[in-house]
Structure 1
Amino acid sequence: MWILSEKIDRIQTVLNKHNVDGWIIFCHHSYDVHQRYLLEKWFASPTLTLIPKRGKPSVITSQMEAMLVNEEIYEVNAYKKGSELTEMVNNLLKSFQDKSTLALNFVEPSEVFSKFSSDILTSGTFSALTSINKNLNYVSAKDIIFDVRAVKTQKEIKNHEIAAKLAEELMEEVIEPLIKPGMVEKELAAIIEFECNKRGGVAFEPIVASGPNAAIPHHKAGAGKIEENQVLLIDYGVAYEMSNSDITHTYWIGSKPKEEILRAYEAVHEAKEAAFSKIRAGVSSHIVEMAVREKFEEFGYDHEKLYIHSTGHAIGIETHDIGVGIYRAYPDRPAKELLENSVITVEPGLYFAGDFGIRLEDDCVVTKDGGRRLSNTPKEMVCL
């Protein structure tokens, strides 16, 4: 329970920082990840959670799911039918003083494509909520969401450590010994999902990409077979207490990789190390990104053509979380400084369309002294 109390305390501190009187999350089937984050359960019924800037938070949910709410933390209001839900939501919003400011999970139209992770309310729900009490000010919760999710608590960092450790152990002890030529990609992906669930949960649908499919960064595991004398790329993660890991290995199926494969693998590994040499709190993400691209240039690879994504993203309650990742600065997208106690991925790659791809991905905690690794993909290519 103390972990949940810590979350509420942190959110109320953020609300006071932004001079917001309350944060409302309203959805059904828990499609808003913040509801699962705050209630630590999955709710099928329409459920509203209110975190006020001071005082006890409250939840409105159905009678059949009210027992899932922690009553030591939340004031619980249970409804039997839709008309009661409507009345409870109306009464809640009308209880605020005029000119109070409430944050909702939406963004302004001009930010839909850049802040989409905070744009969660449907237009109908937004209209319904904001029409109940027009004497209130409604603002986007995007800044609150960023402050809550971008920097982790020590408990969340510990959970990320466990998630990464579990992922590495399952790959080394269970998955690697199982991989054989002739296996189907989606068969192996299903096994990985099963093993992740045994250890806590699946962070995301695993990517299993063999041969030319490894040149597609977000390939969906299909009916393709794992064949000898080809690369095999596996991108997967364990979810542990709402903290995810995200790790990518690239293997060679066979006894001896081709020289071009070994050279590309070496370049990707050295690019990953170049990124880690620059990571620390306060450093521009652009500096880290360019260290990777410069390393590829040293190896003679055209990074503009062969490196088709950024080097890393924030990771947290979602695998691609809100926060500061590693990316290039552009005139319309200035770089941000890496945040202390954030958790990010480092995942350089080279992709040769129609032939093969190499990606290595590790998770790390950003500290003032550098990037503390939570996982460590191997320097030498593993042959299976």
Structure 2
Amino acid sequence: MDHERRRTDEARDRLRDHGADALVLSPGPEQQYLSGFGTEQSKRHTLLVVPAEGEPFFFLPAMFADGARAASWVETYHTWEDTDDPVDALRESFESHDLLGGDVLVNERMWSTFAQDLRTVAGGVDRAGEVLTPLRMTKDEAELDAIREASVIADDVSRAVRGLDLAGMTENEVVGEIEYRMRGEGGEGASFETIVASGPNSASPPYRAGHRELETGDPVILDFGSIVDGYLSDQTRTVVVGGEPPEGFVDAHETVIEAADAAVDAVEPGVRADEVDAAARAVIEDAGYGDCFPHVTGHGVGLDIHEPPFLIGGSYLEGWNHVELEPGMVFSIEPAIYTDAFGVRVEDLVVATEDGAERLNGSPRTWEPLE
């Protein structure tokens, strides 16, 4: 809990510099990041309020209070019952902390109904991204430990699943096998919708999983991650289900591995995120696959599966691809090639260090089945 308290102090300093009176955060990664308490969004007003001056407090349904107290260092609670008008109760809580009519910053995925209710008690409502995003991009040791553990779980499951006879299983059955095994290894669930894209389905970057049966010789993209203490992992391997791969697959796979290695080699403090993308993209373009790599080389990972920094050229998400890398930033490296017949994607998480990058995934990157 000391980690969350320190993060809250840093957020409060940035809040004062921004000139706002309070952060108001609905359930989600931002609320967990500062308080330690994480819960799902619901129709009930469940808010963490961090004033620029004074101690933070929770405004939440009475039935949630015990869970928040057990998980969080925050000591002050304003609760309301289902028979209460939550907006009236929110107004009373704001008034008791001298925040009525003040300017507040909210997390960007707050439901519009809560933002509208806040406008009845606050003077102004704006986004909290400029305050919280720079803090969340650089992970502390507690965060890194959780991501490392989640990555080990995903690696162990990757090895196990790739040792199975996958021919004849449907994509959805393989998804079930992966997610069952991650739970069995101690994970808290899947960090995103598990991807098992086989044969022609592997050629579609947005594809997830379906009822197609895996066939001998199919390329299969296996993209999944686990969760530990709310922190996520993300790794991808592209394998072939026995037999011989399709024509051109081996060359594409070797090119993707080379591109991934070039991107990892480019990581060091002070390098911009889009420069890492350029290193991977140059390898793929030189090999003649320039039109076959349509997505980012990587994205930040933490309490969210997609968060800054973003490894892509142009002006991506308000310039979060132009940030200079710093030690403690965690992000994926996932170059890919998609042809008309198949796709290849290989992904590891890395953490930027003082002099380069540390890979957080160690499962074999070969396309051949594992023993």
| Shared fold per TM-score greater than 0.5 | yes
- Tell me how far 1:65 sits from its aligned partner: 1.8
DSSP 3-state at the match of 1:178: coil
- Tell me how far 1:225 sits from its aligned partner: 0.7
- What residue number does 2:167 align with? 181
- Kindly provide the amino acid, as one letter, of the partner of residue 311 in structure 2: I
- Kindly provide the amino acid, as one letter, of the partner of residue 67 in structure 1: D
Q: Distance in 2 between matches of 1:157 and 1:33?
A: 16
- Tell me how far 1:325 sits from its aligned partner: 1.6
- What residue number does 2:9 align with? 9
Change (3 A) 1:14 1:330: closer
Q: Distance in 2 between matches of 1:288 and 1:294?
A: 10
DSSP 3-state at the match of 2:63: coil
- What residue number does 1:269 align with? 257
Deviation string 1:252-302 (CA, Å, 9 cap, x unpaired) is 111443562111110000000111111122212232222212111332x23
Q: Structure 2: any 5+ residue segments left out of the alignment?
A: none
Q: Distance in 2 between matches of 1:333 and 1:73?
A: 32
* Pairing 1:380–2:366 present: yes
- Tell me how far 1:36 sits from its aligned partner: 4.2
Q: Distance in 2 between matches of 1:332 and 1:223?
A: 34
- Tell me how far 1:179 sits from its aligned partner: 3.8
Q: Distance in 1 between matches of 2:100 and 2:47?
A: 21
Change (3 A) 1:253 1:65: same
DSSP 3-state at the match of 2:126: strand
Q: Of the candidates 98, 102, 106, which is equivalent to residue 96 of structure 1?
A: 98
Q: Distance in 1 between matches of 2:25 and 2:53?
A: 17
Q: Of the candidates 117, 120, 124, which is equivalent to residue 110 of structure 2?
A: 120
Aligned ranges for residues 80-159 of structure 1 at < 5 Å?
A: 80-83=81-84, 85-94=86-95, 95-96=97-98, 100-105=102-107, 118-122=108-112, 124-133=113-122, 136-159=123-146
Q: Of the candidates 325, 331, 335, which is equivalent to residue 348 of structure 1?
A: 335
DSSP 3-state at the match of 2:364: coil
DSSP 3-state at the match of 1:193: helix
- The answer as to whether partners of 1:282 and 1:368 remain within 8 angstroms in 2 is no
Q: Distance in 2 between matches of 1:332 and 1:312?
A: 13
Q: Of the candidates 222, 235, 243, which is equivalent to residue 234 of structure 1?
A: 222
- The answer as to whether partners of 2:65 and 2:77 remain within 8 angstroms in 1 is yes
Q: Distance in 1 between matches of 2:228 and 2:317?
A: 36
- What residue number does 2:239 align with? 251
- What residue number does 1:111 align with? none
- Tell me how far 1:128 sits from its aligned partner: 2.2
RMSD (Å), alpha carbons: 2.4
- Tell me how far 1:155 sits from its aligned partner: 1.1
Q: Distance in 2 between matches of 1:179 and 1:6?
A: 49
Change (3 A) 1:338 1:224: farther
- What residue number does 1:66 align with? 65
TM-score (norm 1): 0.86
Change (3 A) 1:140 1:79: same
- Tell me how far 1:46 sits from its aligned partner: 2.4
DSSP 3-state at the match of 1:325: strand
* Pairing 1:164–2:151 present: yes
- Tell me how far 1:381 sits from its aligned partner: 2.5
Q: Of the candidates 290, 298, 307, which is equivalent to residue 312 of structure 1?
A: 298
DSSP 3-state at the match of 1:138: strand
DSSP 3-state at the match of 2:295: coil
Identity among equivalent pairs (%): 26
- Kindly provide the amino acid, as one letter, of the partner of residue 346 in structure 2: L
- The answer as to whether partners of 2:273 and 2:325 remain within 8 angstroms in 1 is no
Aligned ranges for residues 22-33 of structure 1 at < 5 Å?
A: 22-26=22-26, 30=27, 32-33=28-29
Deviation string 1:298-357 (CA, Å, 9 cap, x unpaired) is 32x231x21111100111111112x1121012599765133312110000000012x111
* Pairing 1:40–2:28 present: no
TM-score (norm 2): 0.89
Q: Distance in 2 between matches of 1:264 and 1:286?
A: 23
Q: Distance in 1 between matches of 2:135 and 2:180?
A: 31
DSSP 3-state at the match of 1:324: strand
* Pairing 1:361–2:363 present: no
- The answer as to whether partners of 1:234 and 1:250 remain within 8 angstroms in 2 is yes
- The answer as to whether partners of 2:219 and 2:343 remain within 8 angstroms in 1 is yes
- Tell me how far 1:141 sits from its aligned partner: 1.0
- Kindly provide the amino acid, as one letter, of the partner of residue 342 in structure 1: M
DSSP 3-state at the match of 1:88: helix
Q: Distance in 1 between matches of 2:87 and 2:121?
A: 10
Q: Distance in 2 between matches of 1:338 and 1:77?
A: 40
- Kindly provide the amino acid, as one letter, of the partner of residue 31 in structure 2: Q
Change (3 A) 1:285 1:76: same
Q: Distance in 1 between matches of 2:102 and 2:222?
A: 49
- Tell me how far 1:175 sits from its aligned partner: 1.5
- Kindly provide the amino acid, as one letter, of the partner of residue 101 in structure 1: D
